Amino acid sequence: MTTVFSAQRQTETEAREKAHSAYRLLRPFLIYVTSFTACGQLSRYIRPGYTIIGTNKTGTTLAAYDKAGKKVVVVATGGTIAMKYDPEKDGLVPACTGEDLAAAVPELANVAPLEFIQFSNIASPAMTPQNMWNLHIKLEEILARDDVAGAIVTHGTDTLEETSYFLDLLHNGPKPIVTTAAMRGAGDTSPDGPMNILSAVRTAASSQAVGLGVMVCLNETLHAPAEVTKTHSAYPATFQSPWWGPSGYVDSDRVVIRRKPLNVVRFAPKTLNARVDLIKCMTGSTRDYIDFAVSQGCQGIVIEGFGRGNVPPGMIPGIEDAV
């Protein structure tokens, strides 16, 4: 009996060990499926329009913004991205509309339905604070529509960071605004505009970008407007975010955000009515430019000082009188 019993016990032990090793083998899969299902159920109660669809390759939880059929609106303002070489003028001239730009990127059709608005067609040194304000109003109107997931702005590189920062200071909604540009004209050899537009549209259509304000997208890299700057007058990877680095990047089929800007201050002014001048310090600066700015009726002056905001002694009397 004992023998029979121990033999039986041995069979039971072997069966238990087999079952346990099978469980150890299947456990990761079971955990994934369970969490996947739980997330799926849970997401119904988290936020309407968002569905957690598990994790992607990099382990970042994707929250697919319910953008079924929602559009990305391309707002074109001009810049090299939309320029072609004119032999008569021997230079680049505004030549392409938003539609022309998209026609050079067939893949866009697989990303999101598009709509085009030709806001302006100017080289970006001609951008003014008033233009930027009007662009802000236009973008907020567009993003308020239910059929819109996000918007991109094509722009010149020279003042891209200024316009992007201006828009970011005033963009209080969750939908993405992605600004982009190009270092090579539409008619140049291997223009960078098409890939920049594709990456910008991918980002504007992505749930990863929801709630991040405005992002600057060139060279498949994403930057926060308050941190990015143009570092070279010709190099395609000219936009860099010194010190903190980019916010993320656009891979062939996905948007990867690695950092979210913190301490972003935003405003909601009703109008743009104050003239504020910028005076850059140079060695030997005096009060002259400050007095001139005040004489022109500006309501504020930003002085770009040295180091931690030091200014040449000759400026101080002008600053004291101006305030």
Of the candidates 213, 235, 188, which has an alpha carbon nearest to the alpha carbon of residue 84? 188
- Residue 163: count other Cβ atoms within 10 Å of its Cβ: 25
CB 135 within 8 A of CB 77: yes
Site string for ligand ASP, 157-176 (x = CB under 6 A): xx------------------
Find the part of the chain contacting ligand ASP (CB under 6 A) among 154-162, 280-288, 294-302, 307-315: 154-162
The single residue among 51, 52, 76, 156 that binds ligand ASP, judged by CB under 6 A, is: 156
* 178 is a site residue for ligand ASP (CB under 6 A): no
Find the part of the chain contacting ligand ASP (CB under 6 A) among 46-54, 156-164, 247-255, 266-274: 156-164
CA distances 159 to 140, 180, 259, 279, Å, are 21, 11, 24, 17
**Residues in Cβ contact with 124 at an 8 Å cutoff, skipping those fewer than 6 apart:** 77, 78, 79, 155, 156, 157, 158, 159, 160, 163, 181
Cross-strand partners of 250: 255
Q: Which residue is nearest to ligand ASP (CB)?
A: 156
H/E element holding 152? Answer: strand 148-154
Closer residue to ligand ASP (CB): 51 or 77 = 77
Closer residue to ligand ASP (CB): 55 or 97 = 97
Coil vs helix vs strand at 155:
coil
Total chain residues near ligand ASP (CB under 6 A): 9
* 150 is a site residue for ligand ASP (CB under 6 A): no
Find the part of the chain contacting ligand ASP (CB under 6 A) among 151-159, 166-174, 265-273, 311-319: 151-159
Question: Taking the complex as a whole, how short is the minimal distance between the CB of residue 44 and ligand ASP, in angstroms?
Answer: 45
- Burial category of 259 from C-beta neighbours within 10 Å (exposed 0-12, middle 13-18, buried 19 and up): middle
Q: Which tokens hold the place of 44?
A: 């119904």
* 197 is a site residue for ligand ASP (CB under 6 A): no
* 188 is a site residue for ligand ASP (CB under 6 A): no
Question: Active-site residue among 51, 77, 80, 157?
Answer: 80
- Chain positions 117 to 136 lying near ligand ASP, rule: CB under 6 A, are 123-124
* 181 is a site residue for ligand ASP (CB under 6 A): yes
Query: What does the alpha-carbon distance between residue 181 and residue 196 come to, in Å, rounded to a whole number?
Result: 7
Q: Give the footprint of ligand ASP on this chain (CB under 6 A).
A: 79-80, 123-124, 156-158, 181, 183
Indicate which residues carry an active-site annotation.
80
